[in-house]
Chains A and B, each alone.
Chain A
Amino acid sequence: MKTCLVVDDSGVVRKVARRIIEAMNFHVIEAEDGEKALEACNCAMPEAVLLDWNMPVMDGYEFLGNLRRMPGGDVPKVVFCTTENGMDHISRALSAGANEYIMKPFDRDIVAAKFEEVGLVAAPFQETSESDHPDQII
C-alpha cells in the first residue's frame, strides 16, 4: 500500500483529506507543519505528499525545497493543496518541484483527478462516478 503524507496545520482539513485519500487505498500519515513533515520523510519517504502552503514553523514552499534536496526526495509526488490560488504562487510551486496543485476548497473528485494526473492512482471509468449523471441513468 502506498503512503500519503498529509501536511496541513488545520486538523479539520487533515481529517477530511485523510478520509478521501484512505478511500483511494493509501496509508495516510499526518504532519501539522513543514518541519514535522520533513521528520516524517526522514523516517520513511512517502509516495505522495498533500501539502498546504501557509503553516507555522515551516511553510509548504520551504518544506518542498528541503524535500527535493533530500536523498530520495525526488520520489514523492507532491500535490499542493492551498488557498493560495494566484498564478504567481502556482508558478513558484511548479518551479520548486511540485507535481500538481489544488486550489481550496477541494473535494474528493478534485483530489482523485489530481492523483490520477500524477500517476498515483489509475483512471477510473468516469461514467460511473456520479449518481446524477445522464450517462448512467439514461
Chain B
Amino acid sequence: MTPPDYEYLRKLLKDHSGLDLSADKQYLIESRLLPLARKSGLAGLPELVQKMKGGSSSLVAQVVEAMTTNETFFFRDKVPFDHFREKIVPDLLQARATRKSIRIWCAAGSTGQEPYSLAMCLKEMGAVLNGWRVEILATDLSQEVLEKSRSGIYSQFEVQRGLPIQLLVKYFKQIGEVWQINADIRAMVQHRQLNLLHDFSQLGVFDVIFCRNVLIYFDQDTKTNIFGRLGRMIEPDGFLVLGAAETVVGLTEVFKPVSDRRGLYRPGEGRAATAKPIAAAALRFAAATG
C-alpha cells in the first residue's frame, strides 16, 4: 500500500468512525480490506481507494464497517458478567426496589453475544426479577452486525466460544447447521444503529452501561469526550463496564474505578460538574455521597 493511500484511509476512518490507527497498521488495513476489495470485484487496495475517492459512499460505509467490526463471543472475559451477577444486579435490586426497572445499554453490542449474555444472566437469576422491567438496548455502528444480532443466529463455532453447554441447551434451538437463541431472550434486547461520535443523549438515562472494547479505537480527546457524554446518561449510582484493556484513569474524573472489581466504574466527583442531573437524581446522588 502506498503511503498516500494509507494516509487517505487513516484520515477517512478517523473522520467517519473515530478509529485512530497509528502509522504502522498497514497489515491490519490489508487483512480487513483486501477481502472487501475482492468481494467488490476490485483488484486490490489501490483500486479500492480510487473508487472511494470517486465518491462511492456505500463503499466508504463498507470500509468503515470492515475496519471496526470487532470479534466477540458469549460471556467474553467472564469477569464483567461476574460483576453483573454479583454486584450490579444485586445493588440495583435494592436501589430500584420502588421503581422496579433497570435500563442497560450495550454501547458496542456488535453481533449480540454481549447483550444476549446479559439477558441469559438475568433469566438465570429467576424469580428475584419477577415484576421487574429490564430493558437492554444494544447499539452498534454497523447495520450489518446489528442485523446478525437481531437474528440471534450463530454458527456452531460461535456457540462454543464462552457459552456453557447447559446454557446452549436451555436457551438455543438448533436449525440445521446453526443455532438460534430463543425468542424470549431475543425479545429482551432492543437494537439501534448508533455512532458513538454522534450525539446519543436521546437514548435517555441508564443504570448500567457496557462499553467494552470500543474506546480503544479512539484517541485520548475523543475518549474523554465520550466519557463526559456517557456520564450525563448514567444514573448517579449506576455502573459503567469497560473492556479488560481499558481504563478511565488519566482520561476523566467523570467515572471512578470500583475497588477489587476490574473493569467496573461508577460515576465520580467529576460527574457533578459536567452533568445536568434531574432533581430526583441529584437527590439520590446527595444521599449516596452524604
Interface residues of B, Cβ cutoff 8 Å to A: 19-22, 25, 28, 31, 70-71, 76-79, 156-157, 160-162, 164-166, 168-169, 173-174, 213, 216-217, 243-245
Most buried by B among A91, A114, A132, A138: A138
Q: Are B25 and A135 in contact (CB under 8 A)?
A: no
Which of chain A's residues has its CB closest to B69's CB? Answer: A134
What separation, in Å, do the CA atoms of A137 and B28 have in the docked complex?
A: 8
Q: Are B22 and A138 in contact (CB under 8 A)?
A: yes
Q: Are B243 and A85 in contact (CB under 8 A)?
A: no
List B contacts of A94 (CB < 8 A): 165-166, 169
Q: Are B217 and A127 in contact (CB under 8 A)?
A: no
Q: Are B245 and A132 in contact (CB under 8 A)?
A: no
What separation, in Å, do the CA atoms of A127 and B245 have in the docked complex?
A: 7
A134-B217, A135-B245, A137-B28 given as contacts; is B161 within 8 A of A110 (CB)?
A: yes
Q: Are B169 and A87 in contact (CB under 8 A)?
A: yes
Q: Which of A13-21, A24-32, A57-65, A101-109 contacts B (4 or more CB under 8 A)?
A: A101-109
A135-B213, A138-B216 given as contacts; is B243 within 8 A of A127 (CB)?
A: yes
Tell me the chain A residues, 103-138 only, with Cβ under 8 Å from chain B: 103, 106, 109-110, 113-114, 116-117, 123, 125-127, 130, 132-135, 137-138
- Contact for A114 among B78, B160, B169, B173, CB less than 8 A: B160
What separation, in Å, do the CA atoms of A59 and B74 have in the docked complex?
A: 31
Q: Are B169 and A134 in contact (CB under 8 A)?
A: no
List A contacts of B161 (CB < 8 A): 109-110, 113
Residues of chain A at interface, number, CB under 8 A: 28
List A contacts of B168 (CB < 8 A): 90
Q: Are B165 and A100 in contact (CB under 8 A)?
A: yes
Most buried by A among B77, B78, B162, B173: B162
CB proximity of A93 to chain B, nearest CB, Å: 9
What separation, in Å, do the CA atoms of A91 and B173 have in the docked complex?
A: 13
What separation, in Å, do the CA atoms of A114 and B74 have in the docked complex?
A: 13
CB proximity of B77 to chain A, nearest CB, Å: 6
List B contacts of A71 (CB < 8 A): none
- Contact for B169 among A90, A109, A113, A126, CB less than 8 A: A90
List B contacts of A135 (CB < 8 A): 213, 216, 243, 245
What separation, in Å, do the CA atoms of A90 and B179 have in the docked complex?
A: 13
Which of chain B's residues has its CB closest to A85's CB? Answer: B156
CB proximity of A81 to chain B, nearest CB, Å: 11
Q: Are B165 and A113 in contact (CB under 8 A)?
A: no
Q: Are B31 and A132 in contact (CB under 8 A)?
A: yes
CB proximity of B51 to chain A, nearest CB, Å: 25
List A contacts of B25 (CB < 8 A): 137-138
What separation, in Å, do the CA atoms of A132 and B27 have in the docked complex?
A: 9
Q: Are B78 and A123 in contact (CB under 8 A)?
A: yes
Q: Are B245 and A86 in contact (CB under 8 A)?
A: no
